[in-house]
């Protein structure tokens, strides 16, 4: 992408982010409470004592693959993309993480290194928790231990979805449809009538890398989905009108 295209993409993402972030959870002010946001008030108060909110500008690196995992991060607002691979070589977008998500949990629990890199797509608000303080928090609160297990299970499910999208979907339309459904559930909201809506944070080129195809093919396939009435795209927001049609492609 050219410098002008990158600037336009960031402005579009930021415009949508500013409009979408709502008030809600006392811990992270998001409408979709995360795994740790719905802990009991006393447990949550202890977690808040162990951290404070930081702001990350758009297109900024939070951590890199292979770095020592000194902190995990709770996303309170904004969106980040997680990638695997070396920066000087081909990279794969693993997933998009939004409000309520936790980054670096497995690496912190295993006293290891971050297995992916994290970069902000929009301005983001996060709560970093140092590794030792988080481990002490888990030892004190059994309820939090179960939430940590649930988070690990969710990460496993995301990884399985990635593998199935690439290996089992035989057509580009099926892979792209699967990606749209994943984004609907991961960063979207469920609307009345069974529809989903989520911010379009990925460029067509990035979507192409996640579906093993070309940017031109993604553009053409999305156009076909819109023509069929399965999805709508307006002002950088995707509305999935007929998720069952996308699921049927698989």
Rounded to whole angstroms, the Cα distance separating 171 from 225 reads 14
Where residue 209 sits, what CATH number does that domain have? 1.10.10.10
> Are 175 and 139 in a shared domain?
no
With contact defined as beta carbons under 8 Å apart, do 237 and 15 qualify? Answer: no
Where residue 19 sits, what CATH number does that domain have? 2.60.120.10
> Are 137 and 58 in a shared domain?
yes
Rounded to whole angstroms, the Cα distance separating 154 from 162 reads 13
pTM of the model: 0.77
> Are 21 and 47 in a shared domain?
yes
Residue 207 sits in which domain range?
171-248
Position 84 pLDDT exceeds 70: yes
For residue 120, the model assigns a pLDDT of: 96
Rounded to whole angstroms, the Cα distance separating 71 from 214 reads 36
Q: Read off the tokens for 62.
A: 């939070």
Position 153 pLDDT exceeds 70: yes
> Are 22 and 94 in a shared domain?
yes
Give the domain-ending residue among 166, 184, 205.
166
Give the domain-ending residue among 166, 182, 213.
166
Rounded to whole angstroms, the Cα distance separating 108 from 130 reads 9
For residue 37, the model assigns a pLDDT of: 67
> Are 130 and 185 in a shared domain?
no
Position 4 pLDDT exceeds 90: no
Give the domain-ending residue among 137, 166, 195.
166
> Are 238 and 115 in a shared domain?
no
In the predicted model, what is the mean pLDDT of residues 28-45? 62
In the predicted model, what is the mean pLDDT of residues 187-211? 93
Rounded to whole angstroms, the Cα distance separating 194 from 181 reads 12
Categorize the per-residue pLDDT at 35 as very low, low, confident or very high, splitting at 50, 70 and 90.
low
pLDDT above 90 as % of the chain? 50
Lowest mean pLDDT segment, chosen from 117-126, 149-158, 184-193: 149-158
For residue 44, the model assigns a pLDDT of: 75
> Are 180 and 139 in a shared domain?
no
Rounded to whole angstroms, the Cα distance separating 8 from 1 reads 11
> Are 34 and 139 in a shared domain?
yes
With contact defined as beta carbons under 8 Å apart, do 81 and 71 qualify? Answer: no
Categorize the per-residue pLDDT at 38 as very low, low, confident or very high, splitting at 50, 70 and 90.
low
Q: What is the DSSP letter of 236?
A: T
pLDDT in tens, 109-144: 998 999 999 999 999 999 999 999 899 888 888 888
For residue 91, the model assigns a pLDDT of: 80
Specify the 3-state DSSP secondary structure of 128. strand
Q: What is the tally of structural domains in the chain?
A: 2
Sheet (strand 80-84) strand order: 61-63, 117-120, 80-84, 92-97
> Are 136 and 220 in a shared domain?
no
> Are 135 and 41 in a shared domain?
yes
> Are 53 and 175 in a shared domain?
no
Categorize the per-residue pLDDT at 23 as very low, low, confident or very high, splitting at 50, 70 and 90.
very low
> Are 146 and 60 in a shared domain?
yes
Ranges 115-119, 159-163, 167-171, most confident = 115-119
For residue 223, the model assigns a pLDDT of: 97
């Amino acid at each position: 992408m050219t410098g002008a295209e990158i600037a336009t993409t960031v402005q579009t993402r930021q415009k949508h982010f500013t409009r979408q972030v709502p008030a809600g959870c006392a811990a992270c002010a998001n409408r979709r409470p995360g795994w740790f946001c719905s802990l009991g008030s006393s447990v949550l108060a202890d977690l808040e004592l162990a951290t404070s909110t930081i702001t990350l500008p758009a297109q900024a690196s939070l951590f890199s693959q292979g770095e020592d995992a000194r902190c995990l991060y709770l996303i309170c607002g904004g969106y980040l993309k997680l990638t695997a691979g070396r920066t000087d070589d081909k990279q794969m977008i693993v997933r998009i993480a939004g409000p309520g998500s936790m980054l670096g949990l497995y690496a912190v629990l295993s006293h290891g290194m971050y297995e992916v890199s994290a970069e902000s797509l929009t301005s983001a608000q996060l709560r970093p928790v140092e590794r030792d303080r988080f481990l002490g928090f888990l030892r004190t609160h059994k309820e939090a231990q179960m939430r940590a297990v649930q988070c690990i299970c969710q990460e496993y499910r995301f990884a399985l979805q990635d593998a199935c999208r690439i290996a089992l979907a035989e057509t580009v339309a099926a892979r792209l449809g699967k990606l749209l459904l994943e984004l609907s559930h991961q960063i979207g909201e469920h609307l009345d009538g069974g529809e989903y809506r989520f911010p379009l944070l990925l460029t067509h080129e990035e979507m192409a890398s996640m579906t093993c195809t070309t940017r031109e093919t993604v553009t053409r396939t999305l156009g076909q989905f819109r023509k069929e009435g399965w999805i709508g795209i307006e002002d950088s927001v995707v509305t999935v009108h007929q998720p069952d049609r996308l699921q049927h492609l698989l």
